[in-house]
Each structure stands twice: as structure tokens, then as C-alpha cells.
Amino acid sequence: MKLEMGYIHIHDIQFSNVSKVENGVLFVDQEAVKKLVLEDENLKSVTLDIAHPGESTRITPVKDVIEPRVKVEGPGGIFPGVIAKVDTVGSGKTYALKDMAVVTAGKIVGFQEGIIDMSGPGADYTPFSKLHNLVMVCEPVDGLAQHDYEKAVRFAGFKVATYLGELARELTPDETQVFETYGVKEGIEKFPNLPRVAYVHMLQSQGLLHDTYVYGVDAKRTLTTILNPTEVMDGAIVSGNCVSACDKNTTYHHLNNPVVHDLFAQHGKTLNYVCNIITNENVYLADKQRSSDWSAKLCRLLDLDGVIVSQEGFGNPDTDLIMNTKKIEAVGVKTTIITDEYAGQDGKSQSLADADPAADAVVTGGNANMVIRLPKMDKVIGMLDYVDVIAGGHAGSLQPDGSIEAELQVITGATNEMGFNKLSAR
């Protein structure tokens, strides 16, 4: 499967009476976007704002971050099974608006949304402080249940990202990249002396608003299966999560998965990138056993030499991570895992809820319990009235002067377990 990605770099976002991309500037028609969002009768209002890198701006409570894209050539469309029809994507030509994102916000759960600071010490811990962000704060109708509120905000983000992505359809990209993988037999013939490597991509699916969607299907309802890596670049996997902000895989993370990009960078050089194996993180032990059994089975059937395993979340998913690792190692396939740590504020506690000697190659995204002080910002997009109860916060986290003292856990993407950050530990 072969996909050409075209990148249009955005260096500014401005509100206008017409939506367009011109000379690297994204002009957004506020009324058109609001009308699109409020087609959903579950939302009573939406407020749009813009946050630029380096500004004294705090965005919270953050739900999701999405990069606008458009399918220019080939089957299917962006976000198949969600916005576009259920066609297999990952081939043809896709354009992306780079250096910007759509950020959705709203007090959906309250304790499991996050914070993005556009400047100050907090900005160093999130990749989204480097982007020009169109922020949508969505308010539900009175009495709406949390899961319906989450769905409304989720779809609002995807619809707006699709609307903005369409603006790039007729543009000439600033740069292009081509990504291609091969069938099993063809890959062996093409790269007979290179190790066969795959990516075991664990998807958060514990339920209770801990959801990830694959072609529109809740991952908890799926069995471990194979995806072509380029499918994720067309939005085959999207976030529906209200989980701890620091290691949440937003839709932006899925679209720009660094494991996928790094494996492609070595594809045909030092390794043969065979495929992605997606597996869920369910609640019950039987489901964990089933999913990890299938992960190991597929690794063996594909005659892999090695895999990278990434998880999402902590605690309960640590069990899935170790079960996958043990079983894959047991069938003769080497593993390297990507995780983060909850080692206590002093860094001296056990980092993971589960462990095993087979998991002897580990990349960490850092300690989410580390305490950080976020200074007051001149501007807040959203609201601060839940900061004391956000995961990683405590009673008194929001200081009288407007600053915040909390664990790194509150910052969106701070310890991301795809390695989409610059924080680590050793």
C-alpha cells in the first residue's frame, strides 16, 4: 500500500468572513464553523478562539487535538466510518495542514481533561504549544449525559477538522513524502536480509469514556488485527478518550504517530516494516488474555523478528502491556516497549503496576507524578473551575494568584507513550 502525503504549512490563523488558506495563513469563517458545530442538537453553544505559540494563553479543559486533512486521490476519505464512508484508506494522496490543530474543549468529565499552556514552563512539556490552535469550547444542552456530551464534542472536532482540511484540496503542498509497505511475500523478496519488524499498537478501550475508534468501531468490540501503517494517516484510528491528559493519545497523535514515522524512516534500510498490529486494552482478565494471545499469534504467523509495543494509559493497561510483551517474547519475537511512569512525586515508587523479566527493553516518556508549577496566564480559553480535581491536581492546585501547582499528569501529551514528546528518564 502506497500513500503520498502533501504538507501545507500554516504559520498563522485569522478569523475572516470566508474560510481559505492563502500564503500560509488559515482564514476561518467563524459563523460557518459555528453553524456546522451547532447542527448537533446536543450542543447549545460553541465559542471559537485562536492560540498562537509563545502567547500567555492557557487552554483548558482540553478534550482532543486534531490535525485537518483531506483525501485528494484514492479510495475513501478522512476519518472513515466516522465522517467519511467505511472504505479502506491508506493509499493514494492525502494533504495535511501542518503546524496547526483543532483543539476541542469542554468540561465533559472534569477530572480527566487536560491543560495546554502556550508559553512558560508548561509549554515545554506539550507538543501542542508549538502549534497554531483553533480552539472550540463546546457547551452542552442542559441535562445532557456525559457520554452524549463527549460524543457531541468528538464529532464537532472531526467535522471542523474535515471542513478545514477541504480548504487544502486544490493547493500545492509545500513538501511531499511517500510511504509504502509491501505484502508478506513481496517484502521478504525485496528485503531478504533485513529484520522483519512490526508495531504492536495498544488502543485504550477500558470503557466509561475510555474509548478509541477504528473505522468508527469502538476498539473494545474488536479482536487484535492488522492495519497497514498508512491507514492511520488517513484517520482510521481516532480518539474518544477522557483519560489522564499526560498520556492520552489524541487524534493528532494517531495521525502523526512517531513510531510509524520512525519505522518508515528505517524501512528498506535497517529493517523491513511489515505492518501494524492493533490490540485493545479491555477491563476483564479474559479479554486481556484473548487480545494478548492474538497479538502473539499474529507476530508468530508473520514470522516477525521484532516489535515495538506502545500502550495508552497506566495502571490497568500495564497488565495488557506486560501480557503482550511476555507472550510475544515467548514465541521468539524480540520486544521493545514504550510507556511512561507513575513513580511517585519523589520518583522512588514502582513505575508500572505490572512487570516481568521479559520486558527488558523499555523506553519511558517520563514520570507523570513529577510536580510542576504553572504561572498565571494573561488569557484563559475555557475555564479553570475544575483544576483542583483534574487527574494530577489536588485541593488547592489553583492558587489565589491564578497559578497552578500540580503533577505533570495535568498537561496534555506530557508523557505520551508513543514517545511524542522530549521527556524521558534513565
Hey, how many other C-beta atoms are within 10 angstroms of the C-beta on 357? 7
Phi, psi of 35 (to 5 degrees): -60, -40
> How much is the average pLDDT of 401-413?
95
Residue 3 CA to residue 93 CA, distance in Å, equals 6
Q: What digits encode the pLDDT tens for the residues 179-219?
A: 999 999 999 999 999 999 999 999 999 877 889 999 999 99
Catalytic residue from among 138, 242, 275, 299: 242
DSSP string, 323-359: HHHHHHHHTT-EEEEEEEE---TTS-S-SSS---TT-
Q: What digits encode the pLDDT tens for the residues 122-131?
A: 999 999 999 9
Residue 193 CA to residue 178 CA, distance in Å, equals 23
Hey, how many other C-beta atoms are within 10 angstroms of the C-beta on 297? 15
For the purposes of burial, counting CB atoms within 10 Å of the CB of 21, is it exposed (0-12), middle (13-18) or buried (19 or more)? middle
User: Which pLDDT score, from 0 to 100, does residue 148 have?
Assistant: 93
Choose among 28, 38, 60: nearest CA to 134. 28
User: Which pLDDT score, from 0 to 100, does residue 426 have?
Assistant: 66
* 241, HSE (Cβ side, Cα atoms, 13 Å): 30
Bridge pairing between strands 334-341 and 362-367: parallel
User: Which pLDDT score, from 0 to 100, does residue 356 have?
Assistant: 92
Q: Is 138 a catalytic residue?
A: no
CA quadruple 188, 194, 196, 199: dihedral, nearest 10: -130
DSSP string, 86-133: S---SSEEEEEEETEEEEEE--SSSSS-EEEESSSGGGGG-GGGGSEE
Give this prediction's pTM.
Answer: 0.96
Query: In Å, how far are 132, 191, 363, 409 from 341, measured between CA atoms?
Result: 29, 37, 10, 10
Residue 111 pLDDT greater than 70, yes or no: no
Element of type H or E holding 177: strand 175-180
